[in-house]
Chain A
Amino acid sequence: MDEVFKALADASRRELLDRLRADNGQTLSELCARLAMSRQAVSKHLAILEGANLVATVWRGREKLHYLNPVPIHDIADRWIGKFERSRLQALSDLKKAVEARDE
């Protein structure tokens, strides 16, 4: 679990996860094309995310595809969110989104 928190404690890595959430299964080149980061930096961040199991990879021919793997985040949520709190938290989250969208 330490690895997951360390991996998430970096804005660039969180942005990479956001990119994968929007478009899952990207190659390193695809991820680099849309980011203001060097290929080397993206590659390093991806290795850390993969090490924390937040990114899963599959090979398709010679291409390595990267996928957001939310399983460790789910484990964290389950550790601290009680089983009866989930729907209330979802409602609060929906409320926050609705109110904030209106303010935009």
Chain B
Amino acid sequence: MSKSGATKITVDRSNSEKPKFVYVVYIASTAEKVWQALTDPKMTEQYWFGYQISSDWKVGSRYTAGMAGAPPFDKGIVLECDPPRRLSYTWHPQYEAFLHERHSRVTFELVQLDSQVQLTVTHDEFDEGSKVFESISGGWPRVLSSLKSLLETGRGLPRSWSDADKKWQTCSAEARA
């Protein structure tokens, strides 16, 4: 904490490359609850649009992300786990188009500020011209908004479009093609 009493906490990453993304969300909750929301699959599925993020959260352990009962869409390794302050894991989507890319890295940092938690998400270590990077550009703000909503109101954001909407989207995509 700075002596000026400023509430903004920034992250020092002197030894790493420049992150591609840095997202910050303030959540009216406790660091313990935010930590649980990041690491408990029963919680993640409530705001992460149905995805369960599962691991024993030991450094070096595997984690998986995916719908219950379906093959995981993402697998990686836990790099750091310091509850309820810092969690980091590699990110490696299991889609054909992405498999050849190196694992990127997601890091969550939690700081309790009075009645709020400052949650900072950084995502870095992408390949040059990464397709994964392109594909996730829009995803994090949505996940973080949904997490904030869940912890503050008890409800995540709607997990997906209605079936009618999906059909409509497919039609319009075909029309555009």
Q: What number of B residues sit within 8 Å (CB to CB) of A?
A: 34
State whether A65 and B168 are in contact (beta carbons under 8 Å apart), knowing that A84-B161, A86-B161 are contacts in the complex.
Answer: no
Chain A CB within 8 A of B88 CB: no
Smallest CB–CB gap between A91 and chain B, Å? 5
State whether A84 and B19 are in contact (beta carbons under 8 Å apart), knowing that A56-B24, A91-B172 are contacts in the complex.
Answer: no
Query: Which residues does chain B contribute within 8 Å of A86, judged by CB atoms?
Result: 161
Other-chain contact of A59, B12, B20, B21, B158 (Cβ < 8 Å)? B12
Contact indicator A58/B145 (Cβ below 8 Å): no
In Å, the complex CA distance between A24 and B10 comes to: 16
Contact indicator A24/B157 (Cβ below 8 Å): no
Contact indicator A74/B10 (Cβ below 8 Å): no
Of the candidates A57, A64, A71, the one having the most CB atoms from chain B within 10 angstroms of its own CB is A71
Q: Is the interface of A mostly helix, strand, loop or mixed?
A: mixed
Contact indicator A87/B172 (Cβ below 8 Å): yes
Query: Which residues does chain B contribute within 8 Å of A24, judged by CB atoms?
Result: 20-22
Query: Which residues does chain B contribute within 8 Å of A18, judged by CB atoms?
Result: none
Closest to A91 in B: B172
Contact indicator A71/B25 (Cβ below 8 Å): yes
Chain A CB within 8 A of B120 CB: yes
CB under 8 Å from chain A, chain B span 103-122: 120, 122
Closest to B169 in A: A87
Chain A CB within 8 A of B70 CB: no
State whether A67 and B145 are in contact (beta carbons under 8 Å apart), knowing that A53-B26, A56-B120 are contacts in the complex.
Answer: no
Contact indicator A71/B14 (Cβ below 8 Å): no
Other-chain contact of A71, B145, B158, B161 (Cβ < 8 Å)? B145
Closest to A51 in B: B8
State whether A60 and B13 are in contact (beta carbons under 8 Å apart), knowing that A53-B24, A71-B144, A87-B168 are contacts in the complex.
Answer: yes
In Å, the complex CA distance between A41 and B23 comes to: 24
Closest to A25 in B: B18
Chain A CB within 8 A of B162 CB: yes
Closest to A57 in B: B10
Known: A56-B24, A69-B22, A83-B161. 7 other contacts (CB 8 A): A58-B122, A60-B16, A60-B18, A65-B19, A67-B23, A74-B145, A75-B148
